[in-house]
Amino acid sequence: MTAASYLPQTLRTRSLDSECGIKGAPSSLIGVIEQRRDNDLLYRSLEGRNDKIQVTAHFHVAVFSNSTADTASNETIKKQFQILKDTYARYGISLNLGSISREINDTIAVLSVWNQNEAEDEIIGSSAETEDYWKRTRTGSYEALHIYYYENIVGTAAFCNFAKPNRAKSEYFLDACHLRINVLPGGSAPYRFYGTSAVHEVGHWFGLFHTFEGGCEGEGDYIDDTPAQTVTSANGTCPIGTKDTCPDLPGTDMVNNYMDYTADPCRDTFTPGQYSRMHNVFWAVRAGK
């Protein structure tokens, strides 16, 4: 029986067609944020805190049988890790390099089956062979970061499951980020070869939503210092301070934010509010699990 065959009607396999396959914000994580806004657990100032986040990052590469040794080589993975490490170090998060695994398998090298929960906007399953791959390569606690690279992901360049409150240990194998090999540093993806796609996806892993979540309506990304905006495309430009897709609301589009869709060379910052969100989601949802 395949994963898709036992899904209820409210869940479906979705064809994804953007830089990041995430289309919304998970209801359970929004619930955590809303429940704690009054007592400021997720929005308190982090000034003076010394409980620095320590995360071990494990990388897994699935390639075709005819791929060369240069395809997503260990050297390239280490370059990607260093970009992640240097970026997140500026925000009080220390990343350590764990394992690097390499799978030579023509089937697993293409992530083609996406079973998603609409309400949570998360991957809940794949083909039996791919799920087995995830299970046998997943190690560590809920604090361990696992990043998978594939020759191709059908319909999108990347996807990462959010921190999910009360995720069962039996489902830890679903807690991961998935990216195409061509968005690695030096890859072939247009505007996406500086390595910041991984920074973007790991931002989701730490609890960040897209800066354009909700467009010009509602709570947006639930962070006060990211101005409301609609989707900014990756067209190779970096219109900082000049693009304003929600002109009736304060601020211009934060196109240089890692959680936007602008081209890699443009994205270079998280806001103080995003800094706080990442830390507080980690301690409230991931730590000690």
- Residue-wise pLDDT for 78-121, tens only, equals 999 999 999 999 999 999 999 999 999 999 999 987 777 777 77
Q: What is the pLDDT of residue 157?
A: 82
Which ranges constitute the DSSP H helices of 41-127? 74-89
Q: Is 151 a catalytic residue?
A: no
pLDDT band for 3, please (50, 70, 90 cuts).
Answer: very low
Please tell me which residue in 201, 213, 217, 219 is annotated as part of the active site: 201
User: Cα separation of 94 and 168, whole Å?
Assistant: 25
Q: What is the pLDDT of residue 43?
A: 46
**Predicted structure pTM score:** 0.88
With a cut of 50, say whether residue 46 has pLDDT above it: no
The total number of residues written for the chain in this structure? 289
Give φ, ψ of 56 to 5 degrees.
-95, 125
What value does the CA radius of gyration of the chain take, rounded to a whole number of Å? Answer: 18
For residue 52, the one-letter residue type is K
pLDDT band for 123, please (50, 70, 90 cuts).
Answer: confident
Q: What is the pLDDT of residue 87?
A: 97
User: Cα separation of 262 and 255, whole Å?
Assistant: 6
Q: b or e along 266-287 (b: 16 or more beta carbons within 10 Å of the residue's beta carbon)?
A: bbbebbebbbbbbbbbbebbbe
Q: Give the single-character DSSP code of 257.
A: B
pLDDT band for 20, please (50, 70, 90 cuts).
Answer: confident
User: Residue 154 burial by CB count (10 A; 0-12/13-18/19+): exposed, middle or buried?
Assistant: middle
- Residue-wise pLDDT for 236-255, tens only, equals 778 888 899 999 999 999 99
With a cut of 70, say whether residue 44 has pLDDT above it: no
Q: Give the single-character DSSP code of 209.
A: P
With a cut of 70, say whether residue 77 has pLDDT above it: yes
Domains and CATH numbers, the chain: 3-16+53-208+272-286 (3.40.390), 210-269 (no CATH)
